[in-house]
Structure 1
């Protein structure tokens, strides 16, 4: 296994024309066949598991436990075994209310040459005026990821619906351009790395499932790869593309993302070792 495909999608629970959307999701996700996928707004109750309904049966699946009263939350699926699981409570201020904001961190036991991956399904507050919460939630998740990777080394990926655009404080923090609470990290944005001049909007008014025609945020879904000591991401970002974004396969109020990552060759590491 010389590469890993990582996908992320907010599935919009069972809103809209769910029977039609379900058919599209099952077909498209089966055809895409990502190795790892982070899903947001999944519905899991005692009677229904939306993730098991839309994904092929060969995935290992972990669900957020502290879900919204209606069953909504986040879920992560992997073709490889899952080790340790950490569910980070991101309801850090009263303004979060009962929204199930969380970071669901899974230890992915990928085969060589990729090896261990710490994958965070990051799902902060969504409200337009909650960037203060998203800042605190970002640094909370980053601190825990740093501690986990220091204790048990591996690649670190963060993917999900961040509800913030690239120039927001929380995203600038993730990408090494902003300090929060005297903490700084640096992750590479997979979309920006491969499409530096394309805005890559994932939440748009012309999506047929859009209910927020004037929502001011546009690119709000991300796949991030942590940078290593050599200066670049520890997994090379070969490709990043939008998924479920065409008229024939739009199945959510969000467009999704899929990135292809591979271990760096010796040349990549050498080139990234200096300024």
Structure 2
């Protein structure tokens, strides 16, 4: 699952908070990429909304008011590392980064990559370069292995953008290419929609059972978010 929570400083937090808590409790996601979540000054928004039973890996960089991103897992986390995605002087300092966590699942190994590139309009070139940098490091980390790999987050780009086309194998960039399956597109053939949040899987080991918006009638977060149900491919 990926969801942009929207900081409590915005949009009537006291009304949004119970809606988000109840929604997350009903969904009970195993793996979550959360964006625009506050940590600091005695408050942990991610822990508050998710409740007990999650292991958290926070992106190290945050804004002055504590807004950043966090990866959450119901399973214990092994090695966790972070990729600095500052590819230019205008790439949304201080936030662009990707966190890679090894998740200790029974069907493992499984790697969860929480990708948080530049978000501002007009930074398409930065987002493309950040996607390539993240993908290169992930591929180098695996060195020919094929572990289960999930890529998720707010990519700041629609499906027809260069960065998303790169991730889904529709175009190469900077002399490099990868193929990740967009779970929404897999579950809804012919309906790519207009999205900026994605859950993707590195091709070959996981099947997409379903993909749907994270919220329904009540909009309590920055974006609708995406929830994907994944199955380990047999054989």
Q: Partners in 1 of 2:178 and 2:146 — Cα distance?
A: 16
Q: What's the CA shift for 1:253?
A: 2.4
Q: What's the CA shift for 1:153?
A: 5.0
Where in structure 2 are there 5+ consecutive unaligned residues?
none
Aligned with residue 203 of structure 2, among 227, 235, 240: 227
Q: CA RMSD in A?
A: 1.4
**Are 2:70 and 1:67 equivalent residues in the alignment?**
no
**Are 2:221 and 1:245 equivalent residues in the alignment?**
no
Matched residue, 2:82: 87
Determine if contact 1:74/1:104 at 8 Å carries over to the other structure.
no
* Deviation readout 1:33-88 (Å, 9 max, x if unpaired): 01101101111114211111101211111111111111111101101010111111
Matched residue, 2:223: 254
Matched residue, 2:143: 150
**Are 2:102 and 1:119 equivalent residues in the alignment?**
no
Determine if contact 1:9/1:256 at 8 Å carries over to the other structure.
yes
Aligned with residue 13 of structure 1, among 7, 23, 27: 7
Matched residue, 1:187: 180
Taking structure 2 as the reference length, the TM-score comes to 0.95
Counterparts in 2 of 1:196 and 1:152: CA distance versus 1, 3 Å: closer
Counterparts in 2 of 1:87 and 1:196: CA distance versus 1, 3 Å: same
Matched residue, 1:264: 233
Aligned residues between the structures = 234
Q: What's the CA shift for 1:164?
A: 0.7
Taking structure 1 as the reference length, the TM-score comes to 0.82
Q: Partners in 2 of 1:24 and 1:149 — Cα distance?
A: 39
Where in structure 1 are there 5+ consecutive unaligned residues?
1-6, 201-217, 229-233, 267-275
Q: Which has the higher strand share?
A: 2
Q: Partners in 2 of 1:94 and 1:28 — Cα distance?
A: 38
